[in-house]
């Protein structure tokens, strides 16, 4: 047997084993998620009964970093003001916006300068002014020099008054009970230091009075693909890891943290583009090193709705940033994987993220390219190529379908038959081009991290879905 033949056989088996291991890993997470959802379903039977801790929930500071968010900031804050929660404050951090974000806030919430002393526990860029609403006593606005989202969150933590804080994106819409549900882990278990909720795509939904009143699907195909992505990522990805206390990421769009634990960890890291994941991984590493009992949980039913990109350029930039943020989060916390007390986060979740999420785009695209080349040049048989397609695409469809199935079994957010048919079609179609181009964008993110090109979140091209929908509900025609 020649060396070339041995090399082809080795690469073929490596690609097969990689894709099999990837899908088996996700199917295992799916099993853990299904088990957790069954327990959640049993708890939901008791949801209508009076809660023993109703009204005794710990007060929460909601931190809303805002950079050029004039299109949706007012609607988002109004929705948060109507949350069904005992005691909370809203701190909007205007991070040097160049549009009319601050002016909109001043007009909509009647802001006045409010000089106050606060403890600067985490270093941040200069705070120009703190404002307080004369209409809503629990609303304050920080106007600061631009420093990025992480710096804005750190400034909000410094000014916040309460033991828990909730980071929410400025374009997000929360359901009325979202905050009360996402804080439940802190009431059940005093060792909980962080909890995250589900993020869903708001495109195509109807909003009135700052709240989502009708669930719909986006007409834009790219946004529709992302609906299925979010279902898969949250319902069996994060829920599966949470069941093992190995969740390494809480979405920056919706997560609650114990403030003292975050301050002890040093706050958000400002020199990374994935500050949300990096903080969670660092907290795992530091708490494991101190052998301190703790839990980081995912709660599937509190929902945060957010606008998804509807054009290729914005989506591409988002995925490149996400991949670079993943690389920065892992490489900044190697100690978690090599710690003697790493547990599930260090010995299972970290290697999984390293092999299948960080290095995944390189192996996946390389595997596709090699197998196609080998098939058309006669290096492998059609049976081997067919088996590869089944593993790479067939099991991918199965994973997406399982995410949709978990959604229907548990929450049934999309009840109409046409919606389910559309999502079912996307479950299949996303495996023929969409996932591959996402892998290419992620590979670009890896390259930019490796070459240390300057990183920036840039400007998110928003259509103002939340604001436009609210105007439509009020009978006002949206601007052209």
How many percent of the chain have pLDDT more than 70? 90
Of 84-98, 142-156, 223-237, 313-327, least confident by mean pLDDT is 223-237
Residue-wise DSSP of 444-465: HHHHHHHTT------------H
pLDDT at 210: 67
Determine how many CB atoms are found less than 10 A away from the CB of residue 452. Answer: 7
pLDDT at 335: 93
Q: For residues 375 and 40, give the distance between their C-alpha atoms in angstroms, rounded to a whole number.
A: 47
Q: For residues 342 and 336, give the distance between their C-alpha atoms in angstroms, rounded to a whole number.
A: 6
Give the Å distances, CA to CA, from 401 to 28, 288, 405.
15, 35, 6
pLDDT score of 382 more than 70: yes
pLDDT score of 455 more than 60: no
Average pLDDT over residues 231-248: 87
Residue-wise DSSP of 339-387: -TT-HHIIIIIHHHIIIIIISHHHHHHHHHHHHHHHHHTTSS-HHHHHH
pLDDT score of 470 more than 60: no
Of 385-394, 411-420, 442-451, least confident by mean pLDDT is 411-420
SS3 406: helix
Residue-wise DSSP of 100-161: SHHHHHHHHHTEEE--------S--SPEEEEEEESS-TTEEEEEE----HHHHHHHHHHH--
Q: For residues 215 and 207, give the distance between their C-alpha atoms in angstroms, rounded to a whole number.
A: 9
Both tokens of residue 268? 């958000």
Q: 107-122, pLDDT tens digit by residue?
A: 999 999 988 888 899 9
Both tokens of residue 289? 């090193």
Q: Which band of pLDDT confidence, cut at 50, 70 and 90, is reported for residue 241?
A: very high
Q: 39-55, pLDDT tens digit by residue?
A: 766 555 455 555 555 56
Q: Which band of pLDDT confidence, cut at 50, 70 and 90, is reported for residue 473?
A: very low
Give the Å distances, CA to CA, from 350 to 326, 433, 446.
11, 28, 17
Q: 143-192, pLDDT tens digit by residue?
A: 999 999 999 999 999 999 999 999 988 777 888 888 999 999 999 899 99
All domains in the chain, ordered by first residue: 3-20+358-450 (no CATH), 58-349+457-473 (3.90.550.10)
């Amino acid at each position: 047997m020649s060396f070339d033949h041995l090399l082809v056989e080795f690469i073929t088996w490596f690609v097969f084993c990689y894709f099999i291991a990837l899908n088996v890993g996700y199917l295992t997470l799916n099993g853990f998620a299904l088990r957790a959802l069954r327990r959640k379903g049993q708890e939901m039977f008791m949801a209508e009964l009076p809660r023993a801790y109703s009204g005794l929930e710990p007060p929460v500071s909601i931190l809303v970093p805002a950079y050029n968010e004039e299109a949706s900031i007012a609607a988002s804050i109004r929705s948060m003001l109507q949350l069904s929660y005992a005691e909370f404050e809203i701190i909007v951090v205007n991070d040097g916006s160049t549009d009319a974000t601050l002016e909109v806030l001043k007009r909509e919430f009647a802001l006045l300068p409010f000089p106050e002393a606060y403890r600067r526990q985490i270093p941040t860029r200069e705070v120009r002014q703190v404002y307080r609403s004369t209409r809503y006593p629990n609303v304050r606005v920080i106007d600061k020099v631009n420093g990025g989202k992480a710096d804005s969150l750190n400034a909000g933590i410094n000014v916040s008054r309460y033991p828990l804080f909730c980071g929410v994106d400025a374009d997000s819409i929360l359901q009325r009970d979202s905050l009360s549900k996402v804080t439940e882990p802190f009431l059940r278990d005093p060792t909980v230091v962080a909890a995250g909720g589900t993020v869903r795509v708001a495109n195509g939904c109807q909003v009135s009075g700052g709240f989502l009143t009708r669930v719909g699907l986006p007409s834009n195909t790219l946004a529709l693909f992302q609906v299925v992505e979010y279902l898969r990522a949250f319902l069996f990805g994060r829920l599966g890891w949470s069941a093992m206390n190995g969740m390494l990421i809480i979405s920056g769009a919706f997560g609650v943290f114990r403030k003292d634990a975050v301050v002890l960890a040093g706050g958000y890291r400002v020199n990374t583009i994935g500050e949300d994941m990096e903080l969670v991984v660092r907290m795992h590493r530091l708490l494991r090193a101190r052998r301190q009992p703790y839990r980081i949980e995912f709660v599937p039913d509190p929902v945060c709705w957010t606008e998804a990109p509807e054009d290729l350029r914005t989506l591409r930039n988002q995925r490149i940033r996400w991949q670079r943020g993943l690389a920065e989060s892992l490489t900044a916390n190697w100690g978690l994987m090599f710690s003697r007390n790493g547990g599930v986060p260090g010995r299972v979740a970290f290697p999984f993220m390293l092999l299948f999420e960080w290095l995944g785009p390189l192996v996946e695209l390389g595997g596709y390219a090699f197998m196609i080349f080998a098939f058309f040049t006669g290096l492998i048989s059609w049976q081997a190529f067919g088996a590869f397609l089944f593993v790479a695409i067939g099991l991918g469809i199965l994973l997406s379908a399982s995410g949709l199935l978990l959604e229907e079994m548990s929450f049934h957010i999309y009840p109409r038959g046409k919606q389910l048919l559309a999502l079912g079609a996307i479950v299949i179609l996303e495996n023929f081009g969409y996932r591959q181009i996402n892998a290419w964008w992620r590979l670009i993110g890896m390259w930019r991290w490796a070459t240390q090109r300057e990183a920036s979140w840039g400007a998110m091209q928003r259509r103002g879905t939340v604001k436009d929908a609210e105007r439509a509900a009020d009978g006002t025609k949206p601007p052209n």
